[in-house]
Amino acid sequence: MPHLHLEYTANLTQLDTDKALLRLNHALVASGQFGAEFDIKSRALKVESFRVGTGLNERGFVAVRLALLSGRSSQIKQQLSESLLAVVQDLGPWPEGVQVQLSVELLDIDRDSYSKVAIG
């Protein structure tokens, strides 16, 4: 833990996912909430098939989900969410004529049933 997922719609063609993931990971390290930088596992997924709402104008989104072990306070989680959203906002510019929504959600993962091992 933590695990971070970044989804982005395929019409956000200028998004640099390598840069995005590195900056997000640096923000998580800087939060001081995680013991080792090595524990932060992040991935980006391009969404080719999507629909925002029911309107006809062009739309897109970047959706970040951070899954972390249960037990942190609501205040800590709000701060983490806001710091990640600030990183995402700074990833622009966004395409002209596309309504883009950026979001960050936090998901608690049950601590007792989380298992892991490191190799090498």
In the complex, the residues that contact a copy of itself under the rule CB under 8 A are 1, 3, 7, 9, 17-18, 21-22, 25-26, 29, 36-47, 49-55, 59, 61, 63, 67, 74, 77-78, 80-82, 84-85, 89, 92, 94, 97-110, 112-120
Based on CB atoms, which residue is closest to a copy of itself, 13 or 114? 114
Based on CB atoms, which residue is closest to a copy of itself, 32 or 36? 36
Q: How far is the CB of 93 from a copy of itself (least distance, A)?
A: 10
Determine the Cα–Cα distance for residues 15 and 94; give it in Å rounded to an integer: 8
Q: How far is the CB of 28 from a copy of itself (least distance, A)?
A: 9
Say whether 36 sits in a helix, a strand or coil.
coil
Determine the Cα–Cα distance for residues 53 and 117; give it in Å rounded to an integer: 41
For the four alpha carbons of 86, 92, 96 and 98, in that order, the dihedral sign comes to: negative
Give the CA distances from residue 4 to residues 52, 73, 93, 95, 120, in Å, rounded to whole numbers and listed in that order. 22, 19, 22, 24, 22
Q: How far is the CB of 1 from a copy of itself (least distance, A)?
A: 8
